[in-house]
Amino acid sequence: MAVEQARCPANAIRAILRWENPPRMARLLTRGSALSGTPSNPATCDLAMVPFRKGAAPRPPSITVFAVELGSATTTATWHLYQRLSSVRCYARDGTALSPAQRTYPVVILSPGLGMQPTDYTALAEELASYGYVVAGLFHTYSTPVVVFSDGRLVGSTPKGRLTHDLEDELLQVWSVDIKSTIDEMDRLNNDQHSQFGARLSSERGIMGHSFGGTAAVAACNGDTRCTAVVDLDGTLYGSAATAQLQCPVMFLMGTPYVPPNLPVFRRSRALIEETRARDQREIEKVMSHSQRGYRVTVVRLLHMQFSDSTLFFDPGDAIAKLAGNELDGLRAHTITSSYVRAFFDVYLRHVPGAQLQLGSPSFPEARVITQ
């Protein structure tokens, strides 16, 4: 099938639901001990965006999904030249029922980048929800700057919850368990007749992550047959992710790092960037060769943080980079990302007619697609 530009319908409406994974899960309690020294905190707090019933009377669009609700917990400085989150509005609305338009909906589980939250991908989640996906984003407790639980507790990040060379394999395993536990939670909700998700979620599950979350998505689906399709958004492969043998299709949607000018002062930096890029490509090709079907989409001038909502926010440094031609326009970056992600999931989760994703799209000359 062709990769078409994403067009989020103006009348598409979604809901945000929250829950905490039950702390009774033994593996999650072990996680808490490993990263915080206290086994009392649940491992994840999840946020879901879903298509909801048109014609209902939900509460107004939510703005509390942004850092407003966290207040000073996440604010350490005043950024007068940056985007004010209080001025941002989104399509998502709170407190309404799941749409009856479909009998069941496929699920996409979203794992954010290290130090980020699922709310940092609100635009992408809303886009998928508007096309009939239930998107469940998870907060990786102790690795996220702050998690707000339903009882008002704030749990911040810890040193062991951050990525260091000596702990990267352990942290990757922990994040993989978080993703698997979210699959368990979605199954539990689907089997709960009192839940609005009861018997409404299909068996098709997409696992998607950005940066370290993308690495964890690949690692979590290594040998897990519950994964229907995997998307890695610019995540480097190492540890168990680099040796994964996936029994499902996988798409690596990768940006391109900024390369400094070809001047003597930047010679070492340029060489290191090229060496890292070549290594990453080898690791991706190896995983693709051991998957059911593999796609590598490389987008020119798409930078690492442009997979998140930050691509749509004002940032003075980004503005200069865009003027210099070193970075894609923010809306263009979001359109490319959401279009490829949706096209991939439409094929493998929704089974839209069309055998494969096309090797390229005239709508996106910035993208180069390789399949295996």
Q: Identify the structural domains of the chain with CATH numbers, from first to last.
A: 14-371 (3.40.50.1820)
Token pair 């029922």 is at which residue? 97
For residue 341, pLDDT over 90 is answered with yes
pLDDT > 60? residue 48: yes
Give the per-residue pLDDT at 141. Answer: 87
**362 confidence band (pLDDT: 50, 70, 90):** confident
Ranges 63-72, 126-135, 138-147, 200-209, most confident: 200-209
pLDDT at residue 198 is higher than 90: yes
Which pLDDT band holds residue 180 (cuts at 50, 70, 90)?
Answer: very high
Q: What is the pTM of this model?
A: 0.85
Give the span between the Cα atoms of 92 and 222, in whole angstroms: 33
Q: What is the pLDDT of residue 81?
A: 55
Instruction: Kindly tell me the number of DSSP H helices and DSSP E strands found in the chain.
Output: 7, 12
**Whole-number pLDDT of residue 23:** 39
Instruction: Choose between 294 and 196: higher pLDDT.
Output: 294
Q: Which of 182, 72, 172, 65 is nearest to 121 (CA)?
A: 65
What number is the average pLDDT over the span 78-97?
Answer: 65
Indicate whether 305 pLDDT > 50: yes
Q: Inform me whether the pLDDT recorded for 314 exceeds 90.
A: no
CB 336 within 8 A of CB 361: no
Burial class of residue 47 in the structure, from the number of CB atoms within 10 Å of its CB (0-12 exposed, 13-18 middle, 19+ buried):
buried
50-54, 113-117, 270-274: least confident range: 50-54
Give bridge partners of residue 298 from the DSSP assignment.
254, 368
Q: What are phi and psi of 334, to 5 degrees?
A: -65, -40
| Cα–Cα distance for residue pair 105/112, rounded to 1 Å | 22
The predicted pLDDT at position 179 comes to 94
pLDDT over 60 (residue 276): yes
3-state SS, 224-277, equals CCCCCEEEEECCCCCHHHCCCCCCCEEEEEECCCCCCCCCHHHHHHHHHHHHHH
Q: According to the model, what pLDDT value does residue 252 have?
A: 97
Closest CA to 367 of 330, 328, 331: 328
Q: Band the pLDDT of 78: cuts 50, 70, 90.
A: very low
DSSP run (H or E) holding 123: helix 122-130
Beta strands 146-148 and 229-233: pairing type? unpaired
With a cut of 70, say whether residue 138 has pLDDT above it: yes
Helix (H) or strand (E) holding 110: strand 105-111
Using the predicted structure, report yes or no on whether residue 208 has a pLDDT greater than 90.
Answer: yes
Task: For residue 363, give every residue at least 6 positions away whose Cβ sits within 8 Å of its Cβ, in sequence order, or none.
Answer: 3, 4, 5, 339
Report pLDDT for 172: 92
pLDDT at residue 6 is higher than 80: no
Q: For residues 319-328, give the mean pLDDT.
A: 71
- Taking residues 51-75, what's their average pLDDT? 47
Whether 83 has a pLDDT exceeding 60, the answer reads: yes
What is the pLDDT confidence band of residue 53, given thresholds at 50, 70 and 90? low
